[in-house]
Structure 1
Amino acid sequence: MSATVLGAAGAEPQGGVIVFRDVTSQRELERLREDVFAMAWHDMHTPITVIRGHAALLLARVKHGRLDKKSFVNAAELIVKHSDRLADLLTALFDIRCLQAGMLKLSRWPTDLGLLAAELVEGLNATSRHKLVVDASDGVIGEWDERRIRQVLTNLLSNAAKYSSEGSTISVSVRADSDHATVSVRDEGIGMEADEIAQVFRRGYRANRALNVRGGGLGLYLAHGLVSAHGGRMWAESPGHDRGSTFSFALPIGTREGETGTA
């Protein structure tokens, strides 16, 4: 709020002007920034600690002439792994900030969802400790930002693997009707109750049974936002604890008339 008195110099005031400015959105962005970085600090601290520790170890061994190739390779691999993890986290923070500020750019072009899902699963199967299977209809094509949809599906697959036992099955299905394409990722993991499902896409939310698994509660929040930016929706289903979960998202096929491609 600001106020100004109206009147000529040396004369009696003739009135005044009071201006009220709505700062709700500005305060919300400030709270978002504080919340996101507070939640991310724990996840950022771990890779930074690992990177520094193994870099210091390598330095000490070089200085003292202890050139063990195997230990060098192991330390270097951990540094690369945790550097990538830190980069992914910083990218997620930037994307969340852009989403909330309405500045996220979508680069749309014809994307085959079935092919995208098959490529992701094929790449993960080489190192995954789960059985990943894909059931995709042919020709599920729409104008979407392929990189962003890949980001969404990667997040859902990563979550399914984190919250289910090694050796269990993770299923991906891709279906379409005349208006929408729907992708579902089903696991055989810890499952959720109704009250947890209601909060699962909230920023920073972690169910009690998930607190022992690494994560800051940002991935699903970001994935939900990316799907919404495409004009789609995301939801979760589960019959209960220890009975698995299914995360799905639906995207409109094609670009709506007048859409600019900016969230």
Structure 2
Amino acid sequence: MENTLWQHILRVRNNAPLVHNITNYVVMNITANALLAVGASPIMAHAKSEVKDMAAIADAVVINIGTVDEYWEEAMLLAAEKANELQKPWILDPVGAGATPYRDQVLNRLLSLDPPVIRGNASEIIALAKANTTVTKGVDSTALSNEAVEAAQFLAENHNSMVCISGETDIVISKNQRISLKNGHVMMTKITGLGCTASAIIGAFLCVTENKTEAVIAAMSLLNIAGELAAEQSNGPGSLQVNILDKLYSITQEEFSGRLKLQNHDN
């Protein structure tokens, strides 16, 4: 598995996939820089007049509702519909799911389009599936990853989606598979937007492999291992953010394979 995932990393570097992001303005800069660091090419565009054209020329679309409003909502729907029409991969990042009725209304419309991949923290995944009652604290998670497994399985089965629950342990779930990823560093929680960055990087990996499971695992492992390595030479969140970008760019196969921690479970 380690070699397969590393080959996907090399494919992103060698093919420079074009990733169209309709994402929140809090994270646009770090998201774009992270995509460039892994070898992808980012587009950040949300004008309704062009999003369908952007989705058509891009290799994947990332929809992140972090700073959604009524205008962006329509742009997101247009881009996702175009991706489906052209059979291009797209990923839904349900930032703050459950926080407000409007946010849930937007997510219900996007879910009706059956996103190929969904990535969120445990609280967001639970709220998205309406499988439990919980309080979403802003964009931070108030639930543990393993508490959202049932909700993720519901989403996977009803929307044919690959679901990634982010947390201290990341859990990747499809209809018939569950994989746990145990890389990362606690200091990463002190940088805003790394979850959003993860979603964008998943978008890049969806461009180079038809295997959604491998795409999600490769992207999440790459970011979290880069975070581990960067934390060892960082004095705090500020230097960590810069060092993560550097490590996404320079990570070696030995560093990646030597750190990778994943476990395959039977569903």
TM-score (structure 2 length as normaliser):
0.26
Normalized per residue, the structure richer in strand is 1
Tell me: higher relative CO, structure 1 or 2? Use CA pairs within 8 A at least 6 residues apart: 2
Normalized per residue, the structure richer in helix is 2
| Higher-Rg member (1/2) | 1
